[in-house]
Amino acid sequence: MDKPQYVAFMGSVPSLSTTFLEQIENPPDLVVKSYAPYRRFAVQIADDGMDSFGIEQGDFLIFREQRWPTNEGQICLVTFGDEVSIRILEYIYNPEVTLRVPGDKIPSLELAPTDFCVIGVLNGVIKEEFAELIYHEEEDFDWGC
């Protein structure tokens, strides 16, 4: 059997709004069963904005670190200054990109690529009931005194 891989868990992120992604002290890792040659991280979806894709509140989204999508309609983790959100990117080769969620739950945004940053492109989903988080014990630091 393959050895499990671990992906850093970054916290909870909405798709219907934006939020400040706070740094978790001693963050857990999410156990994944597949190997990838690139860096990945996980967030937990905080709302039901992606439910028409079968992604429900509480599910863990695994993103590969990537600064721009390679195809139309990919789900991306984007930043607007210090705040983050999950959006579908369309018209990625136009001067203005459309950022949306499925359906008409919130209005789409049309922004220049310089008005936001992509920090990850969806690589996989782990349903909440199948997710396994590994918490690491903090090691006491020996100050050498």
**Confidence label for 1 from pLDDT (cuts 50, 70 and 90):** very low
Q: Where are the domains of the chain?
A: 5-134
What gap in Å lies between CA 129 and CA 105, rounded to an integer?
26
Within 10 Å of residue 51's Cβ, how many Cβ atoms?
A: 17
Mean model confidence pLDDT for the chain: 91
Q: What is the pLDDT of residue 34?
A: 81
> What's the predicted TM-score (pTM) here?
0.87
- Between 39 and 136, the more confident residue is 39
Candidates 2.10.109.10, 3.30.56.10, 2.60.40.10, 1.10.150.120; CATH matching 5-134 = 2.10.109.10
